Amino acid sequence: MIRFNQISFAWKRHRRMNFNHSDEKRDCPRRSKQLTLADIAPGHKARLIGFCPGLAAERRAHLIAYGMTPGHTIQVIQHTPVTVIRVEHTELAMEIEVACEILVEISVQDIMN
């Protein structure tokens, strides 16, 4: 749990740096307490639990078609210049606006791995 907080703090800082200039998305849960893919530090893994209601239907369908289905583990590779993630053997590049519409959770198992 301590480790969890530590990591989470690091991401929050990173996220703030990234978001200073952008205020484009309205439904992004970054003001709420929900954890999103944008919060996961590079090199770490998280489990996908769902998508924000604000995410366009086509984009949601695309993400699912790329293999981003709930319950699966996603590895974050980098956040700059864009977010790059790996799911199964697919690598996806997306803007942070998309990443922060993807809800994730961190299980102890993922941290151990």
Partner 1 sequence: MHCDQTTNSFSNSEGSVALVGHPNVGKSVIFQRLTGQHATVSNYPGTTIEVTRGLARTLAKTIIVDTPGVITFPPVSEDECVTARVLLQEPLKAILQVGDAKNLRRTILLTSQLAEMELPLVLALNMTDEAKTRGVLVNYALLNEHLTIPVIPTTAIRGDGIGQLTEALQSASASRFRMVYPAEIEAALAEFSTRVTKTPISARSLGLAFFSSDQVSEYYIRENESPEVYMEVLSLRDNLQLSFVEPLRNIIQRTRLDYVESIVSATLVSSGSNSQTLGARLGNLTTHPVWGLPVLAMVLYAIYWLVGVLGAGTLVDLLEGHLFGEVLNPWIIDLVNRVIPIPLVVEFLVGEYGLWTMGMTYALALILPIVTIFFMSFGILEDSGYLPRLAALTNRIFRLLGLNGKAVLPMVLGLGCVTMATLTTRILESKRERLLVTLLLALAIPCSAQLGVVMGMLAGISFAATFIWGSVVMLILLAVGWLAARLLPGERSPLLVELPPLRIPTLSNVVVKTLARLEWYAKEVIPLFLIGTALMFAMDQTGILSLLIKAGEPLVVGWLGLPGEASAAFLMGFLRRDFGATGLFVMQAQGLLSAAQVVVAMVTITLFIPCLASILIIAKERSKRSAAAMMVVIFPLALLIGGILQRILTWIGWGL
Residue 96: which of 34, 10, 16 has the closest Cα?
A: 16
CB 56 within 8 A of CB 110: no
Q: Which of 61, 108 has the CB closer to partner 1?
A: 61
Q: How far is the CB of 52 from partner 1 (least distance, A)?
A: 13
Q: List binders of partner 1 among 58-77 (CB under 8 A).
A: 58-67, 69-72, 75, 77
Tell me if 14 contacts partner 1 by CB under 8 A.
no
Which residues partner with 50 through β-bridges? 103
> In sequence order, which residues have a C-beta less than 8 Å from that of residue 3 and are 6 or more positions away?
111
Residues that bind partner 1 (CB under 8 A): 24, 57-67, 69-72, 75, 77-78, 80-82, 84, 86, 88-95, 97-98
